[in-house]
Structure 1
């Protein structure tokens, strides 16, 4: 409902759950811990319509079985999206974790006023009938006097180095920044500030904004693999050698993380980072061909270019067949079953001016069930008027 609060405890908490129905569609719990004076989310447990998912750094299990990504089963799809792990459930839930300190849940409107946990009751009203005990907001754990300690420093740091674009999203994070800095000691102040602004930037995105690149080499740097660059608002659908245009049809809003520079794609064939699209390899029959390599068969010559095969077809005969009265194999090797009861065009020359040949077949019922059909006759009609018919007798 848009309320902001802080909860520094390292207990295991219910973040959100479906709590006003006889059957609990979802229950999401998380635990955070402090390692080397830095707060992080150590474990996330998700129960989604009976499927139990456990997320920890470097490990993912579904129903207590270790799985690899991407994973899909029982109405749940889990994938890696740049710097995030995304969990989608058909019940109407999407969760994203950056494998560190940020976790977000998006919930379908059908669950309004039906949730419990730290995320509130989803009724559209802040601090209404939630987080209150005897009329007191139960998460206020420090006096405001302590928050003044870094008020000036927080605003100064937020406004330096052309960071004004971050201030346009919400004033709530100015208070959160003060709280975080008050809890930081002399060695972790930079960490606390960068984490606060980082989450502030994410909330800008969720609210429909597009934050600029506020990080630099000297202010809250974010290291990336050698071939990648950090973006505060990048496309989460990564273009790859095998799918170089997926980013153009991405339905997700931008996220922060490490991305391939413009003009490059991720090499998902060799898993070696970002390369120019022109250098992508091709795969055929489990074998990898480098860009520029050729593949030749009896019917075509192909050259690998930009991860795709460019082929020249040779004059090579192909066959089509009807067997068993219903089992059809096309010229290109497509096999399927068709139980008909009529005269059908098996093949014809589809020229605009004239049709050189037409092959027709009579498929008829020949048994007691609908799936028993026979090929009764075949007729070949040629352009010069010749007709050739064959029947089973």
Structure 2
């Protein structure tokens, strides 16, 4: 299982990133530098449109970014903008779940999964990808192409010409042939990204230098991950640095299921493949109680009745003493008596305080020892109808049977 989409079918990816670069479902790469509202992909070969995804770019600080994504997934309309998410016109918080979609935050990404067989991921900046189930082959249109499995390089040529290349091919090839991407070879086309790199170099200047390639290198790394590869760390303090919140570190292939104080082992059962983003360093978990970043598991607090207890703090009740250890309560049970009662012939309260009503007409076991081979005691009660209606019952008698054979009975009247 990958990203929640059924593994019974093949899946293909369409992606958008960086300087208006696009990769279609069929592996075509092209550049479309415009800020119009485009249909990225839609289901257009059927009487009913399962999905329609539209996208708009915006230039911020001289850098193109994705400003708005509109997704129509069967009966659900999702709008994504930076810092805002709405479903069918209503602002929602994450995670969000309905019968049609599940939306969650995964490290640096917002993930949208639709039961129809579609997964989309957005980094809330310049990178967006759509993954489709193989059942939609040859049924799509839009900038992601027709999804027919055939690469047609003239499918998106403008006026019969390609956009120009400005870069040094050998320089670009050396980047994607680097040893940090050794696990990506054979998974993602280097030749295609060399062409992307050469187009990017058209927009470089003397001050940005090779830094203008950072977003395309990041996309190559992402596509490698989605193809099953594990790229090494290629960023550094001096080349394409990726700032993270204090106490977190950037990883190209990190676990998207973040271990937290309240769920410290979720990463061990994660079914998603790795993604890039900011993660807690090894040996720490995210403090989701105070939301203050990453801390050692041993420093996690505990919560009881809305009150926060620091690690090492204790509380005492009538029946147990508890100490907060690694975000969990470690409790010692005291010898604490509890009672069970039958009142009004039908109103029962258990040892643990649960109250319910039961109208019976038989002999019932009210309590007995169930954890040993020998039943030390059994308490039975006779509930009988004692009125003209079905809900009028009385406790007629109670019998206590002890292990030594003694029986004690109390009867009405």
TM-score, structure 1 as length reference = 0.81
Matched residue SS, 2:30:
coil
Cα distance in 1, alignment partners of residues 332 and 283 from structure 2? 28
Which of 128, 131, 135 is the matching residue for 1:110? 135
Matched residue SS, 2:29:
coil
Q: 1:375 to 1:77 in 2, by over 3 A?
A: farther
Deviation string 1:138-184 (CA, Å, 9 cap, x unpaired) is: xxxxxxxx9999xxxxxxxxxxxxx7245443432122111111233
How many Å apart are 1:188 and its aligned residue? 4.0
What is the count of residue pairs matched by the alignment?
A: 372
User: Is the 1:299–1:313 contact (alpha carbons within 8 Å) kept by the matching residues of 2?
Assistant: yes
Q: 1:76 to 1:35 in 2, by over 3 A?
A: same
Cα distance in 1, alignment partners of residues 374 and 289 from structure 2? 46
Which of 238, 242, 261 is the matching residue for 2:258? 238
User: Is the 2:181–2:231 contact (alpha carbons within 8 Å) kept by the matching residues of 1?
Assistant: no
Deviates further, 354-363 or 307-316: 354-363
How many Å apart are 1:382 and its aligned residue? 2.4
Task: Please report the RMSD computed on the Cα atoms of aligned residues, expressed in angstroms.
Answer: 3.8
Q: Which runs of 5+ in 2 are unaligned?
A: 1-25, 163-168, 185-189
Deviates further, 209-218 or 337-346: 337-346
User: Is the 1:26–1:46 contact (alpha carbons within 8 Å) kept by the matching residues of 2?
Assistant: yes
User: Is the 1:166–1:200 contact (alpha carbons within 8 Å) kept by the matching residues of 2?
Assistant: no
User: Is the 2:311–2:326 contact (alpha carbons within 8 Å) kept by the matching residues of 1?
Assistant: yes
User: Is the 2:181–2:232 contact (alpha carbons within 8 Å) kept by the matching residues of 1?
Assistant: no
Matched residue SS, 1:194:
helix
User: Is the 2:180–2:233 contact (alpha carbons within 8 Å) kept by the matching residues of 1?
Assistant: no
Deviation string 1:299-347 (CA, Å, 9 cap, x unpaired) is: 1111011111111111112344567988866533456788999876554
User: Is the 2:380–2:399 contact (alpha carbons within 8 Å) kept by the matching residues of 1?
Assistant: yes
User: Is the 2:211–2:239 contact (alpha carbons within 8 Å) kept by the matching residues of 1?
Assistant: no
Deviates further, 242-251 or 125-134: 125-134
TM-score, structure 2 as length reference = 0.77
Cα distance in 1, alignment partners of residues 42 and 248 from structure 2? 37
User: Is the 2:362–2:383 contact (alpha carbons within 8 Å) kept by the matching residues of 1?
Assistant: yes
User: Is the 1:82–1:257 contact (alpha carbons within 8 Å) kept by the matching residues of 2?
Assistant: yes
Partner of 1:120: 145
Deviation string 1:227-270 (CA, Å, 9 cap, x unpaired) is: 11111100011111111111111111101111100111111111
Higher relative contact order (CA 8 A, sep 6+): 2
The reply to whether residue 133 of structure 1 matches residue 158 of structure 2 is yes
Q: 1:274 to 1:148 in 2, by over 3 A?
A: closer
The reply to whether residue 314 of structure 1 matches residue 316 of structure 2 is no
Matched residue SS, 1:132:
coil
Matched residue SS, 2:244:
coil
How many Å apart are 1:136 and its aligned residue? 9.3
